[in-house]
Each structure stands twice: as C-alpha cells, then as structure tokens.
Amino acid sequence: MKTNMVKFDLSDRIGYITLNRPEKRNALSFEFVQEIKHVFKKAESDTACKVIVIQSSGAAFCAGADLAYLQQLQNNSYEENLADSKNLMELFDMIYHSSKIVIAQVHGPALAGGCGLATVCDFTFATPESTFGYTEVKIGFIPAIVMVFLLRKVSEKTARELLLTGKIIDAHEAKSYQLITDVVSPEVLSAYVKNFATKLCTDTSAQSVATVKKMISEVQHMSVQDALNYASQMNAEARQSADCKKGISAFLNKEKIVW
C-alpha cells in the first residue's frame, strides 16, 4: 500500500508515523485507517525502532471522520459498518498492545476518532492550543471503541463526563483529567518529544518495556489472586532474561547500562 497519506521515518531508534492528510485535517476514513495500520505494523516489526511517535502534518492532529466518509456510512449495510468498525478497532488495539512505547505528539484538534487515537497511546504531549473531545454523541453516534481504552486510563466519573457530554476541552483541561501526559509549547514540542523518546531508548530495556506493557493489559481483568500468581510467574521469568542479567551485572559492577 503506497500512498502519501501516512509517512514513516526512522531516526535514532525513534519511528515517526506522520498523518499526512492536511487538506482533510487528517480526518479518518476506511482507507486512511488501513494505511495507518500498515505503517504501524512496519514500525512494530522494525527491530531498529524502539519508540514510536505518532504526529501529523497541517493544522490538526486528527479531526475525527471526514464528511464524505460520514455520508458513505449512512448507506452501508450492517455488515459493511461492522467491517469498518473492526478496521478502527484493530488500529486502536494494535497501538494499545504494541510491544513498543507509543507517543502521541498533538497539535491542533484531536476530536472523536482523533481523540481516540491520542487516548490509546502510552504518552500524549500536546500544545496549549490543542483540543480534545469525544464528540460522537453530538451527532447521534457513540464513542464505542475508544470507551474500552478510556475506562482503563481515567476514572469512570471522568469517562462519563467526557463521553456523555461530548464537550471539547483544551490541553490544560485534558491534563487535569489525566487524559494527556503534559502540555508543551508549540515551539519546542518536537524537540521535547524527541528528547523524551530518546531517554526512553537509552534508559529502558525493550524487553522489560514489552513485558510490562503486556502485564498492564492483562492484570486488569484478573482477580487479585490470579493477578498475583501471574505476576510471580512473570517476575521469575524476567530474572532469567538476557536483559535482566545484563542490567544486574552492570549495576553490580557499577557500569553504565547501555540499552
């Protein structure tokens, strides 16, 4: 799949996925989502890539679904709409369950599906002018897929407020809701995210990160006892890993650990 809607660049172990539909405010369509998935898979499988940054060109991060796409959905059969819904679900699931750390670098609006895209990332940094909102209820739609992930990120009270009102909030409000990680001035956003991602590359074990992310996803639906048993097993396995042996050896010998 070769178009210019999504770009991928690898620099210093950071994979940059750039949403490149500025004329459509990077609004989502079936084909656009497919291409983002295609490029994300490329980043996920690239052993030279340790951290993934999702960013955008133009004035918006991602302004939900485009108008032509919304008009088309009205004529779809249930089966067609189900296939389309699964397409977006697969993208969000792919990002959430990535073995690598995924960062959203947001400027401008991140609304509806675009807000969902920012939500499923591990970290989200945004400019003060950025806006966020799950606006689906305002047009008779529902934020069904992102709800699954949002409820893992914020309290039910906060999720209800954001999902049921469809209100649009700025970056500082989004941070107060714990929806995003931090607010960064537009002049330094790219450099800030690069420095943050670089530190993750140099200071953390890729093997440990992948395991911790997997556990965060899995322990939440377990009983406390099942979760503790699972955690004990993972703890024991981690001690035998190459990265753990390397890290402990460097620590005991007072050597700098190079990841």
Q: 141-161 b/e with 16+ CB inside 10 Å = b?
A: eebebbbebbeeebeeebbee
Q: How far apart are CA 120 and CA 188, in angstroms?
A: 23
Is residue 169 classed as helix, strand or coil in its secondary structure? strand
> Kind of pairing, strands 169-170 and 131-133?
antiparallel
Q: Which two tokens stand for residue 216?
A: 């965060």
DSSP string spanning 70-101? HHHHTT--HHHHHHHHHHHHHHHHHHHT-SSE
Name the β-bridge partners of 8: 17
**Within 97-219, where are the H helices?**
113-119, 144-153, 156-165, 171-176, 189-203, 206-219
- Structure tokens, 240: 């035998």
How many Cβ atoms sit within 10 Å of the Cβ of residue 253? Answer: 7
3-state secondary structure of 153: helix
Determine contact, residues 35/94, Cβ cutoff 8 Å.
no
Active site residue ranges: 136
